[in-house]
Each structure stands twice: as structure tokens, then as C-alpha cells.
């Protein structure tokens, strides 16, 4: 059995078994920004804390904790490596795609639900901006998550509408929004209708 | 610690019993069509009927009451096809609205078929379970007032191992004029099952859950009970399941049952002891855990345990790296979106629902395997909890 390929790439496996930059104790880690995302019902939750060089606007250190599956753990670990030494501006724009690429790929069904570290990191950066009266840097539209379970943003719902979704079921199929706990159903429909009116 | 290879996923499927393997290799050239009247056909037919006889006697059925099918799922689907049958010759008559009562913890082959049938003419009602996965008889009694055609309740649950009081359910179902089916795929071969003792009309069983080959199952249909074939167009299995018989699969199935007759009782005792050791070992070494399923009314080799603050797939994959094969009911497993419907049906809190691991032991499981498994859990769980944002 041992010779068979594992379910994830070697890189993912490595980060899963030996996660980097894990937060030991939140209280004793003096941080400049804190972010948390996810939902225990869906099986994934992430917490990210960052230290920032206020002069250079660079992330000098970061730590994380994750409740989730192997790919959730591995992607958050990889992201923490990428983020250290990165400018806030650049780190704020890291996408799930970039993290997955760095890890050599993930099974498709895992990308949507388990790569949430970037959202937690974004939340931590926004927290830093808020603490330092730099709210103007926060991009509201891009970061708004409508479906917490499947991590679907307003932007993705807009894309689905543009690609032909005309009803809630179709939006669900295309984005997976509202397919777990269903709490976001009304909001998804509201957002869908907003873009239906806007674009058509 | 030396790495081992331990298979603790026997509820998913089992390895072939060495005797089954031997028998199947021996019979691999029995190729004749069992429906042919020449010697090749008769040879195949004889092998099939011998196996049928073995299987029938194992569950107290008559030989003619056993239909061979392609799987447990097919057997279950066949029973449900009764609901929509309008044919006179299938003998289902006198019901204004076809209605089925089943449970929220059935296998997907029942639940999804019910969902599909509900879209057309069928009413499907689902019984809920208590925290141990037990169905309440008074709830069934209530639903029987609506005069369903069929009641289908699984005998032992694949995920949590809980055994239902099938005898009582069948009795009360019959008092209300409905037919009773039980999916006994996880029960037959693990605990004694006798169709007369239980009083069921239909019972599903499968070879690969009891050290037989995959791709062969059987359905018990009590004599005189209406039946509507799912796969039509052939005279095989007395016109109840079309398609040339899977002779080699049936031979393996028969041998597997023959071996169960010899080994089951002793194995059950041994597995119950191992389960006790495993349970105590986990309990002693790891805090914040919950065992899911009934503490006593459960199949011997199955233990379902959930660990607070850690996600099931991560545990499963760490165990896999340690050489241990188990399964999980977490949201992340096998592409499904929320946690397992069975785990959720027990009303367990969200903190625990995604951290469940099913350990299903079998005839090859040794005390050393269990010690190694306890040690592995004791090593892995704190490691995952240390990086968890929920612990």
C-alpha cells in the first residue's frame, strides 16, 4: 500500500506533517493584526496573526492556527511562509490560486472549501489597517464573503451571473454558495438579483 | 515505533477470506451459462444452487427466497421499485398513494432513491434517531397510521454500528398491513440473523462485507410477498433479476457464508474484547472525546469516536501515514459537503460532528493492531489539537 501515490502532492504532505509558523499561544504573541475566518459546521476555520514593520509596511512575522482537513492545514502553512517578508499591499492580494500553485496543486473539490488562509490573512491585514487608521486601504467589495461555509465572495456570485446563472440553484451549482448550512441563502439571492439588475 | 499496515475499515469492505480466494481460483473456469441445459450450463447451475442453499440456510430462508443481485445497493433499489409498480402481475394493489417510511440514517442507496421517488408519486417519511442512533418504536407507530406500503429500516448502521429492534418494528409494521424491509448488509455475518425470527418480508445482504467478493449481493424475498424486478427482461432468478448470473461471485459468496457459519461467533466475542480495549485506551489517553453509537446494542467490531477540535480527514490521513486505514464522517471526506448524515442524526454538537472516525475491525485484527492504533491516536490527536483554532 505504501508505494501508492498519496492523495495530495509531496509538498502538501510535507506542510501537513510539519506545519510551519504555528501559533503557540495567542496571548503571548504580540501581534499587530488578527484575522479569523471559516465555520466549524463546514469543518474549516483559520486564524492568522501578523507582525508589521510600520515603516516599511512589511509583514515581518506571522503565525496561524487551523481547524480543518489536510489541505486546509497545508495551504495555511504554505501561506505563512509566503507572507513573511512580503509587503502588506502584496500580501493583501494573495489569491487561493497562488497558494495552490506554490504547493503543486490540490484536488479540485478541495480548492474551494479548504483554501481559506488568504481570507484569514486579509482579515488580519485589515485589522492592522483599522488599528492604524488606514481604513482607506481596505477594499470592501473584493473581500466581502457571502457564503462563509464555502468561502464564496460577492465577486464570484457576480461572475456566475455573468456566466449565465439566472436563479439560486444555478448560482449554487456554479459557486457552491449556500450548499452547506444554507444560512446565506437570502443574501446570495439578494446579491444575485443585484447583479441581474445591474448587468441585464 | 515500527510502522505497521493495519486495515480497520472492514465496514467499507473486507479482504477475501483465504478459503474464498482458494474456492474462487478453483472455480474460475466454470464458464457455462447457468441457463444452458448442457453439461457446462448444468455445472454452473449446480455451483450457484449450492451457494444459494448455503446462504439461505444461514439466514433461515428457503432456497427459493434468495435472489442474487449485483450489490446490496441493487437489492435495496429493487425493494423500493415496488412502490411505483402498477403491474398486476407484481401483485401490488389497493394502495391509493404509495408511501414509504424509512429512517434518516439509511444508506444513501435508500435515501437517494426515496428522494428520487418522492419527486414523482411516492410519499417518503423519515424516522429520526435518538443520541445513540436508535429508532423509536412509537414514532414508527405514529407514521404507520398513514398506511404506508413499505417500511424500510436498516438492521445495523454502517457508520456507528447501532443495531435496531427489527423484530419489533416488523411486527408492528405487519399489524398495520405494510411490508417490512431491512438492509442487513452490516449485520449478516457479524451477528446472528434469522429471517423467521425477525419476521421480515425483505432482507438485503452483501458478500464483500463478510470476506466475500465485490459485485455480488442477495435479497431475501419472503414467499408470497409481492415483488417488482428492478432489472427486467430475463428469466434468471425466476424472472426476478434479469442478467446472466455472476457464477464466480456467487461461488465466492457461498464460500464466505460457509466460513461465517464456522467463524462468526468466536470472532464476535474476540472483537467485542478488542473494542473494549480500544475504547478504554482512547478514553484513558485522550480528553474531550465522544463515542458515537449505542454502547451495547452495536455490531461487535465497529467503534465510532469523535475528537473535539480536530477535523476527521486530517486524523484519517495522519493515521494513513502511520499505516492505519479507517474512515471519517467529516465534511471534508469523499467530496461531500456537510458532516455525515448519520453522525448529524445523533444530534451531536458541531464541535464534534466533523471530528468523527470510524474504526471497523475484522477477522484479521489483532490485539497488537489495537495497541498500535491507540498509540497512534495518542500521538496524532494532540499534534492536531496544537495547531487547531478550535481547541
How many domains does chain B contain in total? Answer: 2
The reply to whether B236 and B293 lie within a common domain is no
Q: Residue B338 falls within a domain, yes or no?
A: yes
Q: Contact A50/A125 with Cβ under 8 angstroms?
A: yes
Question: Taking CB atoms and an 8 Å limit, are A180 and B337 in contact across chains?
Answer: yes
pLDDT (mean) for A156-164: 84
A198 touches chain B (CB under 8 A): no
- What nine digits make up the cell of A116? 481559506
Q: CA B368, CA B303: separation in Å to the nearest integer?
A: 17
Nearest to A45 among B313, B314, B389 (CB): B389
User: Which chain B residues touch A65 with a CB distance below 8 Å?
Assistant: 387-389
Q: What was the pLDDT predicted at B96? A: 56
Q: Residue B1 falls within a domain, yes or no?
A: no
Facing residues of B68 across strands? B218
> What was the ipTM of the complex prediction?
0.84
Question: Taking CB atoms and an 8 Å limit, are A44 and B311 in contact across chains?
Answer: yes
A105 touches chain B (CB under 8 A): no
User: A1-140 in CATH: which number?
Assistant: 3.90.1010.10
Instruction: Tell me which residue range forms the domain holding B295.
Output: 6-15+263-386
What's the pLDDT tens digit per position in A14-31? 999 999 999 999 999 999
A144-200 carries CATH number 3.40.50.300: no
Instruction: Name the pairing type of β-strands B327-328 and B66-69.
Output: unpaired
Question: Taking CB atoms and an 8 Å limit, are B331 and A1 in contact across chains?
Answer: no
Q: Which long-range contacts (CB under 8 A, 24 or more apart) does B283-290 make?
A: B285/B374, B285/B377, B285/B378, B286/B377, B286/B378, B286/B381, B286/B382, B288/B391, B290/B348, B290/B352
User: Residue B129 — very low, low, confident or very high, per pLDDT cuts 50/70/90?
Assistant: very high
Tell me which of A37-51, B178-192, B266-280, B325-339 is least confident: B325-339
Facing residues of B210 across strands? none
Domain finish residue from B233, B259, B285: B259
Catalytic status, residue B332: yes
What count of CB pairs under 8 Å joins A to B?
Answer: 87
Q: Residue B391 falls within a domain, yes or no?
A: no
Nearest in space to A12 (alpha carbons), one of A102, A88, A108: A102
User: Residue A79 — very low, low, confident or very high, per pLDDT cuts 50/70/90?
Assistant: very high
The reply to whether B304 and B240 lie within a common domain is no
Domain finish residue from B259, B275, B301: B259
The reply to whether B85 and B209 lie within a common domain is yes
**Highest-confidence segment of A167-171, B229-233, B242-246, B348-352:** B242-246
User: Residue B84 — very low, low, confident or very high, per pLDDT cuts 50/70/90?
Assistant: confident
Residue B266's CB is within 10 A of a number of other CB atoms, namely 10
- The distance of Cα B117 from the centroid of its chain, to the nearest Å, equals 22
Tell me which of A5-9, A114-118, B89-93 is least confident: B89-93
User: Which chain B residues touch A113 with a CB distance below 8 Å?
Assistant: 331-332, 337
Domain finish residue from B259, B293, B321: B259
pLDDT (mean) for A55-74: 94
> Which run of H or of E encompasses B252?
helix B247-285
Hey, is B274 helix, strand or coil? helix
State pTM to two decimals. Answer: 0.89
Amino acid at each position: 500500500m505504501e508505494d501508492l501515490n498519496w492523495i495530495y502532492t509531496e509538498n502538501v504532505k510535507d506542510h501537513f506533517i510539519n506545519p510551519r509558523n504555528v501559533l503557540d499561544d495567542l496571548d503571548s504573541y504580540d501581534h499587530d493584526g488578527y484575522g479569523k475566518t471559516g465555520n466549524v459546521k463546514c469543518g474549516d476555520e483559520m486564524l492568522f496573526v501578523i507582525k508589521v514593520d510600520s515603516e516599511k509596511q512589511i509583514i515581518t512575522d506571522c503565525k496561524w492556527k487551523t481547524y480543518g482537513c489536510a489541505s486546509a492545514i497545508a495551504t495555511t502553512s504554505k501561506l505563512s511562509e509566503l507572507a513573511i517578508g512580503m509587503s502588506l499591499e502584496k500580501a493583501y492580494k494573495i489569491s487561493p490560486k497562488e497558494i495552490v500553485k506554490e504547493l503543486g496543486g490540490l484536488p479540485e473539490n478541495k480548492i474551494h472549501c479548504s483554501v481559506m488562509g488568504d481570507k484569514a490573512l486579509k482579515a488580519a491585514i485589515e485589522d492592522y489597517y483599522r488599528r492604524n487608521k488606514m481604513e482607506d486601504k481596505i477594499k470592501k467589495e473584493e473581500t466581502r464573503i457571502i457564503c462563509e461555509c464555502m468561502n464564496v465572495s460577492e465577486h464570484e456570485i457576480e461572475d456566475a451571473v455573468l456566466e449565465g446563472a439566472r436563479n439560486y440553484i444555478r448560482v449554487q451549482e456554479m459557486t457552491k454558495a449556500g450548499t452547506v448550512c444554507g444560512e446565506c441563502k437570502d443574501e446570495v439571492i439578494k446579491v444575485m438579483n443585484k447583479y441581474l439588475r445591474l448587468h441585464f | 515505533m515500527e510502522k505497521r499496515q493495519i486495515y480497520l475499515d472492514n465496514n467499507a469492505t473486507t479482504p477475501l477470506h483465504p478459503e474464498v480466494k482458494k474456492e474462487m481460483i478453483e472455480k474460475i473456469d466454470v464458464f457455462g451459462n447457468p441457463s444452458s441445459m448442457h453439461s457446462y450450463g448444468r455445472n454452473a447451475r449446480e455451483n450457484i444452487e449450492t451457494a444459494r442453499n448455503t446462504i439461505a440456510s444461514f439466514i433461515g430462508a428457503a432456497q427459493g427466497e434468495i435472489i442474487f443481485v449485483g450489490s446490496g445497493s441493487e437489492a435495496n433499489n429493487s425493494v423500493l421499485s415496488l412502490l411505483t409498480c402498477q403491474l398486476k402481475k407484481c401483485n401490488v394493489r389497493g394502495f391509493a398513494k404509495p408511501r414509504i417510511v424509512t429512517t434518516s440514517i439509511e444508506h444513501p442507496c435508500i435515501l437517494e432513491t426515496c428522494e428520487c421517488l418522492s419527486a414523482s408519486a411516492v410519499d417518503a417519511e423519515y424516522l429520526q434517531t435518538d443520541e445513540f442512533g436508535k429508532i423509536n418504536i412509537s414514532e414508527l407507530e405514529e407514521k404507520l397510521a398513514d398506511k404506508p406500503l413499505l417500511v424500510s429500516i436498516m438492521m445495523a448502521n454502517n457508520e456507528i454500528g447501532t443495531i435496531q429492534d427489527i423484530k419489533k418494528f416488523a411486527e408492528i409494521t405487519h399489524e398495520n398491513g405494510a411490508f417490512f424491509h431491512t438492509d442487513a448488509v452490516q449485520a449478516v455475518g457479524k451477528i446472528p440473523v434469522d429471517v423467521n425470527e425477525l419476521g421480515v418480508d425483505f432482507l438485503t445482504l452483501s458478500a464483500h462485507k463478510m470476506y466475500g467478493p465485490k459485485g455480488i449481493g442477495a435479497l431475501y424475498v419472503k414467499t408470497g410477498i409481492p415483488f417488482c424486478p428492478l432489472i427486467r427482461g430475463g428469466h434468471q432468478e425466476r424472472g426476478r433479476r434479469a442478467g446472466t448470473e455472476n457464477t464466480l461471485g456467487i461461488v465466492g459468496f457461498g464460500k464466505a457464508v460457509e466460513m461465517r457459519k464456522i467463524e462468526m461467533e468466536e470472532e464476535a466475542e474476540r472483537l467485542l474484547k478488542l473494542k473494549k480495549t480500544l475504547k478504554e485506551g482512547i478514553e484513558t489517553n485522550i480528553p474531550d472525546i465522544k463515542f458515537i453509537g449505542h454502547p451495547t446494542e452495536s455490531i461487535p467490531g465497529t467503534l465510532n469516536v469523535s475528537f473535539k477540535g480536530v477535523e476527521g480527514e486530517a486524523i484519517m490521513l495522519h493515521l494513513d501515514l502511520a499505516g492505519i486505514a479507517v474512515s471519517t464522517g467529516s465534511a471534508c471526506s469523499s467530496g461531500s459537503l456537510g458532516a455525515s448524515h448519520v453522525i448529524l442524526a445523533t444530534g451531536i454538537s458541531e464541535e464534534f460532528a466533523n471530528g468523527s472516525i470510524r474504526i471497523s475491525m475484522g477477522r484479521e485484527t489483532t490485539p497488537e493492531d489495537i495497541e498500535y492504533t491507540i498509540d497512534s491516536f495518542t500521538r496524532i490527536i494532540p499534534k492536531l489539537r496544537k495547531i487547531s483554532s478550535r481547541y
